Amino acid sequence: MHNSSGRLKIFNGQIIGPDAIIPSSCVFVEQGKIVGIEPMDTDFPEAELVDAQGNYISPGFIDIHVHGGGGCDFMDGTVEAFLTIAETHAKHGTTSLLPTTLTSEKEDLIQTLEAFGRAEKVNGMGANLIGMHLEGPYFAMAQRGAQDPKYIRNPDPAEYEEILNTYSCIKRWSAAPELKGAVEFGKFVTSKGVLAAIAHTDAIYEEVLEAFHEGGYTLATHFYSAMSGVTRRNAYRYAGVVESAYLLDDMDVEIIADGVHLPAPLLKLVYKIKGPHRIALITDAMRAADMPPGNSILGSLKNGLSVLVEDGVAKLPDRTAFAGSVATADRCVRTMLNMAEVPLVETIQMMSHNPARILGIEGQKGSLSVGKDADIVIFNPEIEVQKTIVKGRSVYQKA
């Protein structure tokens, strides 16, 4: 039963509100927006009825760091890849995602940025494509991880100013703040309304402090991965990015919550120190997310790196290091519940409200509140997604 106003009444569920579970209530949706959170028996004429069957009704998941899934990577640079990834993650409860690049040739980056614009227009059955995240190429060589060394360099104003002035779809850029020119880079990025994040870095506390206060870097990218901890230079110890993010109360951190990249004690430590409001859960997923284990490719099909997917993570073929995550957002939620023992409402804040706030879109997304976009996921107590709704449209229904 469809109607032109797109009125939905989602009932018979446990609504995950901003601060608590709201029992015996229903969500009213009209024209892609939430227009009411009302007692169960409130009438909403001519609405399509959506029976949540006693499951949770949650704000949709927002993944601000994801490279791929369903066999595709955003660096494939095609509309088809964008749509496949958006639809793959929607099946796992993601209603908005920030497509993320890898360091590459400039022409490959441009191709991906161009594909974003075309994909956004035709994306009918996937998670919202809410902007691009550029990961690199301004990184510390020693912390490059799986990023190709031949592209790693210091910030180049002529290059980044042109890219940011041309592509307004860019909403986030991750860089190492200790590099020459990185504070100026952060200033320019944030002057454009783009989030500056600290990534692939060997910075010490003094450098992070300057980056935070002067450069506007407010987020630590995949916290603990590819970043400095305590280091020693001769006899003296220095605090690294990890300690800095703990010391700076207002710095946000995102964590790859696949349960593999960070073990339970570290998940608990991050939660204990940063609390429920400064953590965003991310998948950082590569193309093998939601695919069978075995051989895969990190990065673009054209010039990516061969990797092996086993034990729920991508590894270098010699198994000496991880080479990417294959997480989906529902798995991140399960990880925080089961391994970090975080309560459900706070876990959902980390997978929806916090990422929305970090990106500056909490006025439209991140909670089931009247006036916000109707981005909703229904899942059972095992956090298995039953239904995903993006802007009032059902994009996934479990068979």
Across-strand partners of 198?
Answer: 175, 220
Three-point CA angle 48, 49, 53, nearest 5°: 155
Nearest-CB residue to Zn ion?
284
Cβ at position 102, least distance to Zn ion in Å:
7
Closest distance of CB 320 from Zn ion, Å: 19
State the residue for tokens 């991906």: 112
Cβ at position 36, least distance to Zn ion in Å: 38
For Zn ion, the closer of residues 271 and 322 by Cβ is: 322
Nearer to Zn ion, 255 or 377 (CB): 255
Residue whose C-alpha is closest to residue 332's, from 289, 288, 291, 283: 283
Say if residue 59 is preceded by a cis peptide, omega within 30 of 0: no
Nearer to Zn ion by C-beta: 99 or 366? 99
Token digits for 113? 């940025």
317 upstream amide cis, omega within 30 of 0: no
**Rounded CA separation 94/329 (Å):** 6
Work out how close the CB of 204 gets to Zn ion at its nearest, in angstroms, rounded to a whole number.
23
Is residue 199 a contact partner of residue 138, using CB atoms and an 8 Å limit? no
C-beta of 283 vs 335, nearer to Zn ion: 283
| Residues facing residue 73 across a β-bridge | 68
Task: Name the residue among 284, 285, 280 with its Cα closest to residue 349.
Answer: 280
CB-nearer residue toward Zn ion: 191 or 306: 306
Q: Residues with Cβ < 8 Å from 179, sequence gap 6 or more?
A: 138, 139, 140, 154, 155
**Pairwise CA distance, residues 351 & 94, whole Å:** 9
User: Among candidates 238, 239, 250, 258, which has minimal Cα distance to 274?
Assistant: 250
Q: What are phi and psi of 36, to 5 degrees?
A: -170, 140
Nearest Cα to Cα of residue 281 among 320, 228, 226, 337: 337
- Residue 108 Cβ, how far from Zn ion at the closest point, in Å? 16
Structure-block tokens of residue 365: 């997304």
Residue with smaller CB distance to Zn ion, 240 or 299:
299
- Closer to Zn ion at the Cβ: 99 or 259? 99
Rounded alpha-carbon distances, angstroms, from residue 153 to 187, 335, 370: 18, 35, 46
**40 three-class SS:** coil
Q: Which residues bind Zn ion (CB under 5 A)?
A: 135, 284
State in angstroms the smallest separation of the CB of 284 from Zn ion. 4
- Please choose, from the candidates 25, 91, 88, the residue with its C-alpha nearest in 3D space to the C-alpha of residue 57: 25
Q: Which is nearer to Zn ion, 239 or 262 (CB)?
A: 262
Residue whose CB is less far from Zn ion, 11 or 151 = 151
- What minimum distance in Å lies between the beta carbon of 100 and Zn ion? 5
Closest approach, Cβ 82 to Zn ion, in A, equals: 16
């957002």: which residue's tokens? 329
Report, in Å, the least distance between residue 277 CB and Zn ion. 23
Closer to Zn ion by CB, 97 or 389: give it.
97
Nearest distance, CB of residue 114 and Zn ion, angstroms: 21
